[in-house]
């Protein structure tokens, strides 16, 4: 059973290794010269007085949520699309139902006017 | 360009509208007409010339200050007026001393002059009374002194040549 | 107006270039011994390969901060996106807008007294290791504007690595400036003409 | 924000009140800001500097913007970050040496700056420049207009996100720079114009080079327009944004392409023809709606008109002296120094002390790629000007920026700043 998972594990290990290496190496090798200005926010070169607890408008959050919703939908389609032949027609019908469901949601959101930027 | 006689006509028109002593002088030099006016009545004359004169100059091309240092009413403000239909230019000039450097603003008549007035204030210290936010526009807000006045030093560093090395001993350290 | 010249606090972090050169010469003549020799060798031998590898990587990916001040900015953009010279050969083509992701600050244009604190803030907010190219006469010495409004040379408030002369310098001149900076990053700076031609003793001394 | 009656399409903001957000109800909007009163309860105004160091501000222009979400409520342009005190330095130089200073103000239209200063001094001197010098000046001014519009095109479309445009635009600009380098020796800040004409005559073969450039430049403009005019994103971002009416622009003393895009054909080359502009036929492109798309189209059409002007000027280039032969102002040719004594004296006098201008003051103005560029010179009889003031078009056009951007999105503000084409060297002088 372990055999079939080996490639995935190797991939995972290599990913973590190189990711960690680059992150850590940067911290280790880079020279450190801390100065107070370096930790202040960058605002086109001007000392920034934007309040940290600033609350953004609702539209930003809304658009982000909609994006995540339809993005996950595409993520689910990938594995099915890769092995569609092996899964047979049942998976095809299943996917179509899945897509139409989300499409109805899309139409609702669109007609509701949430896509226009307010 | 209003020729010499045209300038006299405009001057006469302004004289009888605002009284005799407002127009201080008229100069016609190299086909450019300049009407010199008293500082207090600058706003009324320019407003009159821009709106309801017989031949109105509807556009203010530029408003800039100048410092004639040696001769006496040192500071001056120039209003370059432009009539677009007739393609005609007229300069209204206002001379004043350093201590009474004050001219009423014309931003409510012609909003385009607000940046110019701020720059003239910034560079010469001529206060435009009634300007919405008369602050320095080019120099840093907390800068002291009015750079374009003739008595303001040029600033910068003395350039070291062999002849003036004496005044800066051991400059090479 | 008397002229005060004091050495900048150096780039900080380890000895600066001059001291390293002098010590290398002493090592060659065998005058270096004792604790200095230990430290010198230890520093060189242990880190030689890693440091060279690091410098090589840094030199070939020097990302400039997209920072145009005045006329030299036009020539800088022509160097970056123009048809004849392109900085992507040196890995310097990507101009980052935020100082956090930039390695090099090209001061292209005249530095006015109102802009100096902002440039200093940008330089401080850049992450180490960082370099500064002062492009054009106005950034290096305020050029012909010897007046109240300009800081007379960016090295009055910034440690500058490479000065590119010209007003504005041609795109090829800026590309050559980036090459010189790369050599400096790799630890073998092109020697100035005095060292190259060993012509000491001709400095202009007052009588 | 469409106020249609379709129930599903009611504006999104009102619908929010149906959702009980008591957490927002209690918090008062940001007080103390005059704009706060028309603010819904849960909004918070956000003032930020799109500041001196910003990729999309075309130089060191700081825009203090008060934002409500993505909408710009108030915009205050703050300038002065590249103020070089050029006008003060000019008062310390002889009349000749002022030309390099004046050229570095608006560093994209450097020929125009030198030309307007030379014109003011020539009119103070009452000096008439020979026809060949006038034609050479017109050719270089129009080539400079093309190169300035090309740089504007490259960087503006880069701000809108299209990367390829700057490579094409700079490719043509390099060709124009080659022409400048061939005629005057330097790509930028050439100091080719001298008081009284031009420094040197154009080298032989220069006009063939210009003809080569003029032959295939219009096809290049067609290529740019093919890329941009059918690009849906570009059209949606440009059409209908940053509209300012003609009267308002007029009141804000805006001149140049910005004013012409609103439908007002005011161009100094036609209104006050100088140096023989009246002989050439060329049109003045005028927009209709006055939005960003019109500003783009007006400048593209202006490039085509400039090609026409340069072509006509080059064909009818009169021969004769390239600089006025008034020895008091113009240097005598070198070979004359060996023979005639007066030439030597004139040469010596001009080189050591420079020429003197009789006392007087004059304001002259010509059409720069950004609007009316004026130069006011006061002469006090000495060899140095007493005052040189340059009326910069971008300095006055910036006053129209708040009118263009307030109420719109930030993305439209970036497009409006790009289409306004401010050159901060000229603004801050």
Same domain, D178 and D90: yes
Residues of D in contact with A45 (CB under 8 A): 51-53
The predicted structure's pLDDT at residue C45: 66
CATH number at residue B63: 3.30.460.80
The rounded percent of chain D whose pLDDT value lies above 70 is: 90
Residues of B in contact with D398 (CB under 8 A): 115
- Quote the CA–CA distance of D60 and C49 in Å, as a whole number: 43
Which partners does chain A have (≥3 C-beta pairs < 8 Å)? C, D
The predicted structure's pLDDT at residue C205: 57
Q: Does residue B74 belong to any structural domain of this protein?
A: yes
Same domain, C140 and C41: no
CATH number at residue A71: 1.20.58.1610
Inter-chain touch C145–D85, beta carbons under 8 Å: yes
- Quote the CA–CA distance of D195 and D401 in Å, as a whole number: 36
Nearest-CB residue to D84 (from C73, C150, C168) = C150
The rounded percent of chain A whose pLDDT value lies above 70 is: 98
**For residue D152, which of D170, D179, D176 has the smallest C-alpha distance?**
D170
Residues lower than pLDDT 50 in chain C? 5-14, 206-207
pLDDT band at B1 (very low <50, low <70, confident <90, very high): low
Nearest-CB residue to B154 (from C2, C148, C204) = C148
- Quote the CA–CA distance of C179 and C191 in Å, as a whole number: 13
Q: Does residue B32 belong to any structural domain of this protein?
A: yes
Q: Which whole-number Å values give the CA distances from C203 to B105, C17, C52, in the listed order?
A: 58, 20, 34
Same domain, C50 and C24: yes
Inter-chain touch B115–D250, beta carbons under 8 Å: no
Same domain, C32 and C128: no
Same domain, C70 and C127: yes
Number of separate domains in chain B? 1
- Quote the CA–CA distance of C71 and D424 in Å, as a whole number: 10
Structural domain harbouring C27: 17-59
Q: Does residue D52 belong to any structural domain of this protein?
A: no
* Interface residue of B123, B140, B141 to substitute, partner C, most C CBs within 10 Å: B140
The predicted structure's pLDDT at residue D257: 94
Structural domain harbouring D33: 1-44
Q: Does residue C32 belong to any structural domain of this protein?
A: yes
Number of separate domains in chain D? 2
Q: Is the pLDDT assigned to residue D13 strictly greater than 50?
A: no
Same domain, C31 and C96: no
Same domain, D27 and D115: no
Number of separate domains in chain C? 2
Inter-chain touch D8–A45, beta carbons under 8 Å: no
Structural domain harbouring B45: 4-129
**CB atoms < 10 A from the CB of A52, how many?**
6
> Residue range A69-93: average pLDDT?
89
Q: What is the mean pLDDT of chain D?
A: 87
- Which phi and psi (to 5°) does residue D266 adopt? -90, 110
- What is the interface size between B and C, counted as CB pairs within 8 Å? 45
Inter-chain touch D376–B62, beta carbons under 8 Å: yes
Q: Does residue C195 belong to any structural domain of this protein?
A: no
In angstroms, the first-to-last Cα distance of chain C is: 21
CATH number at residue C126: 3.40.50.12280
pLDDT digits (tens, 9 = 90+) for B112-150: 999 999 999 999 999 999 998 888 899 988 888 899 999
Q: Does residue B23 belong to any structural domain of this protein?
A: yes
The rounded percent of chain B whose pLDDT value lies above 70 is: 98
Give the C window 66-105 contacts with A, CB below 8 Å: 98-100
Q: Does residue C79 belong to any structural domain of this protein?
A: yes
Q: Is the pLDDT assigned to residue D314 strictly greater than 50?
A: yes
Structural domain harbouring A25: 2-112
The predicted structure's pLDDT at residue C47: 58
Q: A112 touching D, CB under 8 A? A: yes
- Quote the CA–CA distance of D9 and D3 in Å, as a whole number: 8
Which partners does chain D have (≥3 C-beta pairs < 8 Å)? A, B, C
Radius of gyration of chain C (CA): 19
Q: D233 touching B, CB under 8 A? A: no
Q: Does residue B165 belong to any structural domain of this protein?
A: no
Q: D218 touching B, CB under 8 A? A: no
Residues of C in contact with A47 (CB under 8 A): 121
Q: Does residue C5 belong to any structural domain of this protein?
A: no
Q: Which whole-number Å values give the CA distances from D12 to A58, A110, D6, D143, in the listed order?
A: 11, 12, 12, 51
Among the ranges given (D48-57, D167-176, D393-402), the one the predictor scored with the smallest mean pLDDT = D48-57
Distance from CA of C84 to the nearest CA of D (A): 8
Q: Does residue C202 belong to any structural domain of this protein?
A: no
> Residue range D115-142: average pLDDT?
94
Q: Does residue A118 belong to any structural domain of this protein?
A: no
The predicted structure's pLDDT at residue C8: 46
Provide CB contacts within 8 A for C155, sequence distance 6+: C8, C134, C140
Residues of A in contact with D16 (CB under 8 A): 58
Q: Does residue D55 belong to any structural domain of this protein?
A: no
Same domain, C105 and C159: yes
Same domain, C145 and C120: yes
Nearest-CB residue to B64 (from D254, D272, D389) = D389
Q: Does residue D51 belong to any structural domain of this protein?
A: no
Q: Does residue B16 belong to any structural domain of this protein?
A: yes
DSSP C24-63: HHHHHHT---THHHHHHHHHHHHHHHHHHHHHHHHHTT-P
pLDDT digits (tens, 9 = 90+) for A2-34: 788 898 999 999 999 999 998 898 888 888 888
Distance from CA of D262 to the nearest CA of C (A): 29
Q: A47 touching D, CB under 8 A? A: no
- Quote the CA–CA distance of A102 and D256 in Å, as a whole number: 52
Residues of A in contact with C118 (CB under 8 A): 45-46
Q: Does residue B82 belong to any structural domain of this protein?
A: yes
- Per-residue burial over D17-46, b if 16 or more Cβ lie within 10 Å, else e, is eeeeeeeeeeeebbeeeeeeeebeeebbbb
Q: Does residue C191 belong to any structural domain of this protein?
A: no
Residues of A in contact with C121 (CB under 8 A): 37, 45-47
Residues of C in contact with A38 (CB under 8 A): 124-125, 127
**For residue B39, which of B112, B107, B128 has the smallest C-alpha distance?**
B128
Number of separate domains in chain A? 1
Q: Does residue B115 belong to any structural domain of this protein?
A: yes
Q: Does residue D424 belong to any structural domain of this protein?
A: yes
Residues of D in contact with A56 (CB under 8 A): 69
Q: Do chains D and B touch (3 or more CB pairs under 8 A)?
A: yes
Q: Does residue B166 belong to any structural domain of this protein?
A: no
Nearest-CB residue to D107 (from C71, C114, C147) = C71
The predicted structure's pLDDT at residue C48: 66
pLDDT band at D23 (very low <50, low <70, confident <90, very high): very low
Q: Name which residue leads in pLDDT, D203 or D20.
A: D203
The predicted structure's pLDDT at residue A35: 86
pLDDT digits (tens, 9 = 90+) for B41-66: 999 999 999 888 888 998 999 999 99
Inter-chain touch C112–D81, beta carbons under 8 Å: yes
Q: Does residue D115 belong to any structural domain of this protein?
A: yes
Which partners does chain B have (≥3 C-beta pairs < 8 Å)? C, D
**For residue C127, which of C107, C104, C106 has the smallest C-alpha distance?**
C104
**For residue B118, which of D396, D322, D425, D214 has the smallest C-alpha distance?**
D396
- Quote the CA–CA distance of C154 and C134 in Å, as a whole number: 7
- What is the interface size between A and D, counted as CB pairs within 8 Å? 53
Give the A window 74-103 contacts with D, CB below 8 Å: none
The predicted structure's pLDDT at residue C22: 82
Q: Does residue A117 belong to any structural domain of this protein?
A: no
Q: Does residue C193 belong to any structural domain of this protein?
A: no
């Amino acid at each position: 059973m372990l055999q079939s998972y080996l490639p995935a594990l190797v991939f995972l290990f290599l990913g973590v290794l190189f990711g960690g290496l680059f992150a850590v190496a940067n911290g280790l090798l880079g020279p450190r010269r801390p100065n107070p200005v370096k930790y202040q926010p960058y605002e086109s070169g001007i000392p920034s007085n934007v309040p940290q607890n600033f609350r953004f408008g609702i539209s930003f959050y809304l658009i982000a949520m909609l994006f995540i919703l339809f993005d996950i939908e595409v993520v689910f389609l990938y594995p099915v699309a890769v092995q569609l032949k092996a899964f047979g027609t049942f998976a095809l019908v299943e996917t179509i139902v899945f897509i139409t469901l989300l499409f109805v949601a899309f139409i609702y959101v669109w007609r509701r006017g949430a896509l226009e930027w307010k | 360009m209003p020729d010499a006689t045209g300038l006299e006509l405009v001057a006469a028109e302004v004289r009888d509208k605002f009284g005799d002593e407002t127009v201080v002088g008229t100069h016609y030099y190299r086909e450019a007409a300049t009407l010199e006016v008293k500082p207090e009545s600058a706003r009324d004359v320019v407003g009159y010339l821009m709106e309801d004169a017989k031949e109105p100059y509807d556009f203010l091309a530029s408003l800039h200050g100048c410092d004639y240092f040696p001769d006496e009413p040192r500071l001056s403000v120039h209003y370059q007026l432009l009539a677009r239909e007739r393609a005609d230019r007229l300069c209204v000039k206002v001379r004043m001393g350093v201590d009474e450097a004050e001219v009423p603003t014309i931003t409510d008549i012609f909003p385009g002059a607000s940046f110019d007035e701020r720059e003239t204030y910034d560079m010469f210290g001529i206060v435009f009374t009634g300007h919405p936010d008369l602050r320095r526009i080019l120099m840093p807000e907390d800068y002291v002194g009015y750079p374009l006045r003739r008595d303001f030093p040029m600033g910068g560093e003395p350039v070291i040549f062999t002849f003036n090395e004496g005044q800066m001993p051991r400059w090479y350290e | 107006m008397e002229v005060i010249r004091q050495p900048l606090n150096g780039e900080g972090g380890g000895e600066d270039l001059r001291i390293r050169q002098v010590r290398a010469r002493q090592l060659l003549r065998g005058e270096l011994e004792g604790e200095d020799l230990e430290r010198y060798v230890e520093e060189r031998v242990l880190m030689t390969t890693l440091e060279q590898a690091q410098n090589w990587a840094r030199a070939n990916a020097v990302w400039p901060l997209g920072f145009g001040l005045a006329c030299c900015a036009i020539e800088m953009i022509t160097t970056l996106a123009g048809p004849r010279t392109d900085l992507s050969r040196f890995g310097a083509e990507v101009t980052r807008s935020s100082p956090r992701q930039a390695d090099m600050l090209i001061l292209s244009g005249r530095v006015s007294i109102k802009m100096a604190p902002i440039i200093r803030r940008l330089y401080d907010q850049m992450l180490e290791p960082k370099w500064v190219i002062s492009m054009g006469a106005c950034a290096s010495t305020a050029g012909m504007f010897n007046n109240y409004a300009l800081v007379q040379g960016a090295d009055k408030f910034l440690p500058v690595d490479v000065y590119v002369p010209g007003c504005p310098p041609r795109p090829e001149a800026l590309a050559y400036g980036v090459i010189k900076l790369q050599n400096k990053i790799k630890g073998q700076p092109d020697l100035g003409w005095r060292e190259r031609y060993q012509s000491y003793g001709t400095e202009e001394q007052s009588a | 924000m469409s106020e249609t009656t379709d129930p599903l399409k009611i504006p999104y903001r009102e619908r929010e009140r149906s959702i009980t957000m008591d957490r927002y109800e209690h918090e008062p909007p940001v007080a103390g800001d005059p704009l706060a009163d028309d603010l819904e309860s849960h909004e918070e105004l956000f003032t930020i500097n799109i500041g001196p160091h910003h990729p999309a501000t075309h130089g060191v222009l700081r825009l203090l913007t008060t934002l409500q979400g993505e909408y710009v409520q108030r915009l205050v342009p703050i300038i002065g970050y590249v103020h070089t005190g050029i006008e003060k330095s000019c008062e310390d130089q002889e009349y000749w040496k002022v030309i390099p200073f004046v050229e570095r103000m608006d560093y994209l239209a450097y020929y125009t700056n030198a030309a307007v200063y030379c014109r003011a001094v020539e009119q103070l001197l009452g000096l008439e420049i020979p026809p060949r010098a006038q034609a050479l000046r017109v050719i270089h001014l129009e080539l400079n207009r093309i190169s300035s519009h090309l740089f504007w095109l490259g960087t503006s479309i880069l701000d809108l996100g299209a990367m390829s445009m700057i490579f094409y635009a700079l490719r043509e600009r390099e060709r124009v720079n080659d022409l400048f380098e061939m005629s005057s020796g330097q790509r930028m800040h050439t100091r080719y114009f001298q008081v009284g004409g031009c420094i040197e005559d154009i080298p032989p073969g220069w006009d063939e080079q210009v003809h080569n450039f003029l032959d295939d430049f219009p096809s290049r403009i067609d290529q740019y327009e093919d890329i941009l005019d059918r690009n849906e994103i570009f059209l949606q971002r440009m059409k209908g944004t940053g509209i300012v009416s003609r009267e308002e622009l007029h009141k804000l003393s805006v001149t140049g392409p910005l004013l012409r895009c609103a439908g007002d054909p005011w161009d100094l080359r036609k209104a006050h023809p100088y140096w023989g502009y009246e002989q050439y036929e060329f049109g003045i492109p005028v927009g209709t709606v006055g939005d960003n798309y019109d500003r783009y189209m007006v400048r593209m059409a202006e490039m085509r008109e400039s090609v026409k002007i340069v072509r006509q000027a080059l064909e009818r280039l009169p021969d004769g002296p390239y600089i006025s032969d008034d020895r008091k102002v113009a240097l005598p040719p070198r070979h004359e120094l060996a023979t005639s004594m007066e030439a030597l004296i004139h040469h010596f006098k001009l080189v050591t002390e420079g020429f003197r201008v009789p006392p007087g003051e004059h304001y002259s103005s010509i059409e720069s790629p950004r609007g009316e560029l004026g130069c006011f010179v006061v002469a006090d009889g000495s060899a140095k000007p007493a005052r040189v003031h340059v009326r910069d078009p971008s300095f006055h056009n910036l006053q129209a920026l708040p009118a263009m951007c307030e109420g719109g999105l930030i993305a439209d503000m970036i497009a409006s700043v790009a289409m306004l084409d401010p050159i901060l060297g000229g603004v801050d002088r």
